[in-house]
Amino acid sequence: MKTRDCLKTKHGKDLTFGSEEKKPTTFPLGSLPCQFWIIPSILGSSILYILSDDHWETISAWIYGFGLSGLFIVSTIFHTISWKKRHLRTVEHCLHMFDRMVIYFFIAASYAPWLNLRELGPWASHMRWVIWIMASVGTIYVFFFHERYKLVELVCYVIMGFFPAVVIISMPNRDGLLELVAGGFFYCLGTVFFKSDGRIPFAHAIWHLFVATGAGIHYYAIWRYLYRPDTVEAKTSR
Ligand SMILES: [Zn+2]
């Protein structure tokens, strides 16, 4: 029963990637930049864990590590399965959904260290939870409407990506802001290619390249400004 739900809408429309020609054209090459990031993201997350001085830093390292590594792992599994086992349509479709759901958690996880470890305004304490509610709502949306309203999907990602920034830019200590903006810029630019599959050659691979670059910049900022031992100003009171 789940199989049918997964593949068809109630109107009987096949939801497996919308249609065959809309499938990203560069499998499994598409996720190559992300495949390269799996090991570094696990190692990088371990470094943050080792550098953690207290409870909050440890929790944030776990959350961020799971979000970062999870994104690359899920993306790689999805692209590999799609390439190798195209006859497994149900698995492929569910993984495609999972690939999209994990983006919401990745965005939340990317913000978590800043919201947990930086001294921010009174709204920050709410935003710590709001981001996870947003990620959950996004996940539910993907579950029910995956690939149905593609523009809405994109708008949801953009809102999720920008909304917590309202709190982040209010932080008195602005170290790392430049890197956060730079990483966000790469993600935003990447969405142009994300939406251009089939029109621009290797668009999906380029999208992944932008994601990998944005994630790399954000990791650097988190490591440098929130975890590096000599970053005295980052070790503010929670
Ligand atoms: Zn992809």
Structure confidence at residue 93 (pLDDT): 81
Show Cβ contacts of residue 170 under 8 Å, excluding neighbours closer than 6 positions.
120, 121, 123, 124
pTM strictly above 0.85: no
Structure confidence at residue 67 (pLDDT): 95
Q: Any binding-site annotation on 11?
A: no
Show Cβ contacts of residue 75 under 8 Å, excluding neighbours closer than 6 positions.
31, 34, 99, 102, 208
| 80 CA to centre of ligand 1 in angstroms | 10
Reference 18, options 83, 96, 87; nearest CA is 96
Digit-by-digit pLDDT tens for the chain (238 residues) are 333 343 444 334 443 333 333 455 455 566 677 778 899 999 999 999 999 999 999 999 999 999 999 999 988 888 887 766 666 677 778 888 898 999 999 999 999 999 999 888 777 788 999 999 999 999 999 999 888 888 898 899 999 999 998 888 888 888 999 999 999 999 999 989 988 888 888 888 899 999 999 999 999 999 999 998 876 454 544 5
| 152 CA to centre of ligand 1 in angstroms | 18
Structure confidence at residue 86 (pLDDT): 61
Domain boundaries, the chain: 27-234
Reference 170, options 115, 223, 99; nearest CA is 115
* 86's tokens: 């195209």
| 29 CA to centre of ligand 1 in angstroms | 9
| 74 CA to centre of ligand 1 in angstroms | 9
Q: Any binding-site annotation on 79?
A: yes
| 205 CA to centre of ligand 1 in angstroms | 7
Reference 225, options 106, 107, 119; nearest CA is 119
Structure confidence at residue 169 (pLDDT): 83
